[in-house]
């Protein structure tokens, strides 16, 4: 944990290599294991107390990211099904010791980052890659997308880039309705497509050169 100047405040051990971190206004932070992740760990960043270590079920894995609802009472985590890479958003009840209360799916395979839009919509970077561990299995037929879900799992919008080998990974929003996407290119190493794009719901994806 670091302060606003990047100076370390405290250090907590985690079971394996970490990736994404989410925080809420109640002093909770959660760190997710690097994909295919086996855990997420919740701690109080004010007291350094570990609150929960959630382990993935044998047939599941985490994808390294999650986000809290605006009121901080629910955690949404990107997850996958081993063997198929079917994408899942796990929904966890913060006030009930992070018990899983729902699973949202139907938006594609291999999700990576999920963010919360200002209106409460979930935006998901769906990588579209079926993997065995970290080994890709479907690069010729991968189907990445930027997907928008309501918090009850309704698919509100889904868009893709023209090049299907641009795996959509990391997201941010502009404080309003526009999402910025960072891609990982899974094509030939001597090809250099644009790796950034932006999108506003109802429109087309726009690549940023």
For residue 181, what pLDDT is reported? 97
Burial class (CB in 10 A: 0-12, 13-18, 19+), 141: exposed
Cα distance between residue 183 and residue 205, in whole Å: 13
- Mean pLDDT, rounded, for 24-33: 96
Number of other CB atoms surrounding residue 95 within 10 Å: 10
Q: Which residue has the tokens 């690097």?
A: 34
For residue 136, what pLDDT is reported? 84
- Mean pLDDT, rounded, for 182-200: 91
For residue 23, what pLDDT is reported? 96
For residue 1, what pLDDT is reported? 85
- Mean pLDDT, rounded, for 85-97: 97
- Mean pLDDT, rounded, for 142-157: 96
For residue 192, what pLDDT is reported? 85
- Give this prediction's pTM: 0.95
Whether 137 has a pLDDT exceeding 80, the answer reads no
Contacts by residues 97-101 (CB-CB < 8 Å, ≥ 24 positions apart): 97/52, 98/42, 98/51, 98/52, 98/54
pLDDT band at 59 (very low <50, low <70, confident <90, very high): very high
Residue pair 199/179 in contact (Cβ under 8 Å)? The answer is yes
């Amino acid at each position: 944990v670091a302060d606003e100047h990047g100076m370390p405040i405290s250090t907590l051990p985690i079971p394996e290599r970490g990736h994404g971190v989410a925080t809420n206004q109640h002093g909770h932070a959660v760190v997710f294991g690097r994909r295919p992740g086996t855990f997420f760990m919740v701690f109080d960043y004010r007291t350094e107390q570990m609150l929960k270590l959630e382990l993935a079920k044998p047939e599941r894995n985490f994808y390294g990211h999650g986000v809290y609802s605006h009121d901080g009472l629910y955690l949404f985590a990107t997850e996958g099904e081993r063997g198929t890479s079917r994408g899942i958003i796990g929904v966890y009840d913060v006030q009930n010791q992070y018990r899983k209360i729902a699973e949202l799916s139907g938006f594609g395979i291999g999700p990576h980052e999920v963010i919360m839009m200002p209106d409460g919509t979930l935006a998901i970077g769906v990588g579209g890659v079926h993997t065995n561990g970290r080994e890709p299995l479907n690069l010729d037929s991968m189907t990445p997308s930027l997907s928008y879900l309501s918090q009850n799992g309704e698919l509100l919008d889904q868009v893709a880039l023209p090049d299907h080998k641009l795996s959509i990974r990391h997201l941010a929003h502009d404080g309003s309705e526009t999402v910025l996407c960072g891609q990982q290119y899974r094509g030939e190493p001597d090809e250099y497509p644009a790796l950034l794009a932006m999108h506003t719901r109802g429109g087309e994806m726009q690549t940023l050169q």
